[in-house]
Amino acid sequence: MPPPALLLLLAAAFAMPTAQAEDSVARFLTFENDRYFHTDHYYTNGIQYSTRRTAAASPAWLDRVCRYGGCAEEALVSVQQNFGQLMYTPTHINVAAAQPLDRPWAGLLYSERAYTLETADHDRLTTITLQAGLTGSMSLAEKSQKLVHRILNVEEPQGWHNQVGNTLAVLGTLERRQAVPALRADFGNGIQIRTAAYWRVGVGSIMSYGAVGALVTIGKDLPELSPVPVGILNKVSVAPTDLACLLSSVRCTVFAGIEGRYMAYNIFLQGRPFQTDPQVEPRRWVGDLMTGVRIDFIHTGTAQHGPWYIQFKATRRSKEFRSGGPVSAQAFGALTIGRDW
């Protein structure tokens, strides 16, 4: 029996409207977990099902936002719907008592829609994302983690009754991604390097923050703006199949990035405002180092759909909070599997 959150994600997937004939549709599933690096704490698990459509009509409210947001001359290239669940735990999950010196237990069950616009010269992307979710026991994080641990016959988490409480939480983000022509190169055998810089601002009751970062992509037949890796934190890839390995049977790309964030508020560390949730003192400055590879198995594509692909992204995150107890940086991985239709 799959976890309740997975059942919800699958139900949402089947509930998605049927694509029009002119649409290009991508469907992919992402699993993020720190078990890839032999830990089981902090940001410990994320699952997200995504459907991305092109040839979508721009809603009137988006046109109005772009008049003031600097994207009025950009065309809508994709709309992505995400359904997912995130969970956070302290270091010792077998302790039932409160652990005030460690990261709080917390979960989020969410639905999210991301709109991506692009300039005519393909050197700038703007992504506007709207997210709404449920925290606390309504997130089903406790039930999901306990069921999975029971299936895998590993220690059962004991402290979920100490989690951040129930609330309906929201988050809106605006990201601007720009190609950096000075940091591009073309080598022999068609191998290319493309670099993009970006900033992102998020405001809401889930978290509020500002971020800047850069992404370097190496592959073949790359667009001017290096593609955004698919997954939970990076929402859209505009040209996911324009990448090729040296092998004829697969297409691939490798990428690496860095991001720095100023965190004004984070419900997963600070709890709900004016409530008695467990909380720790957040570090305002947080950084991520990311690297990954994506492989498209081109022989699995047909006239009706694109090939299956698999991507793995590793993230090294700096310390996110201060405490009288030990606090460490964290590494976690994200495995994405999908195909375009």
Asked whether residue 151 carries a pLDDT value surpassing 80, the answer given is yes
Residue 259 pLDDT grade (very low, low, confident, very high; cuts 50, 70, 90): very high
Residue 303 pLDDT grade (very low, low, confident, very high; cuts 50, 70, 90): low
Q: Of 56, 55, 76, which Cα lies nearest the Cα of 65?
A: 76
Which phi and psi angles does 188 have, rounded to 5°? -65, 160
Average pLDDT over residues 232-250: 51
Provide the residue range defining the domain that includes 245.
Answer: 4-340
- The residues that bridge with 78 in the sheet, in sequence order, are 116
Q: Are the CB atoms for 189 and 183 separated by under 8 Å?
A: no
CATH number (domain holding residue 83): 2.40.128.140
Give me the residue label for tokens 């698919």: 230
Write the burial class of residue 17 (CB in 10 Å: 0-12 exposed, 13-18 middle, 19+ buried): exposed
Asked whether residue 194 carries a pLDDT value surpassing 70, the answer given is yes
pTM: 0.88
Q: pLDDT tens-digit profile of 99-136?
A: 999 999 999 999 999 999 999 888 999 999 999 999 99
Residue 147 pLDDT grade (very low, low, confident, very high; cuts 50, 70, 90): very high
- Give the pLDDT score at 68: 84
The CA distance from 77 to 215, in Å, is 20
- Give the pLDDT score at 240: 39
Q: Of 26, 176, 52, which Cα lies nearest the Cα of 113?
A: 52
**Tokens found for residue 272:** 């709900």
- Give the pLDDT score at 233: 58
Alpha helices in the chain (DSSP H): 4-15, 60-69, 141-152, 267-270
Is residue 243 classed as helix, strand or coil in its secondary structure?
A: coil
Average pLDDT over residues 169-197: 91
Q: pLDDT tens-digit profile of 45-92?
A: 999 999 988 866 788 889 888 888 888 888 998 899 999 999 999 999
Of 70-74, 107-111, 287-291, 303-307, minimum mean pLDDT range = 303-307
Q: Of 184, 194, 307, 196, which Cα lies nearest the Cα of 253?
A: 194
Of 5-14, 87-96, 130-139, minimum mean pLDDT range = 5-14
Q: How many domains does the chain have?
A: 1
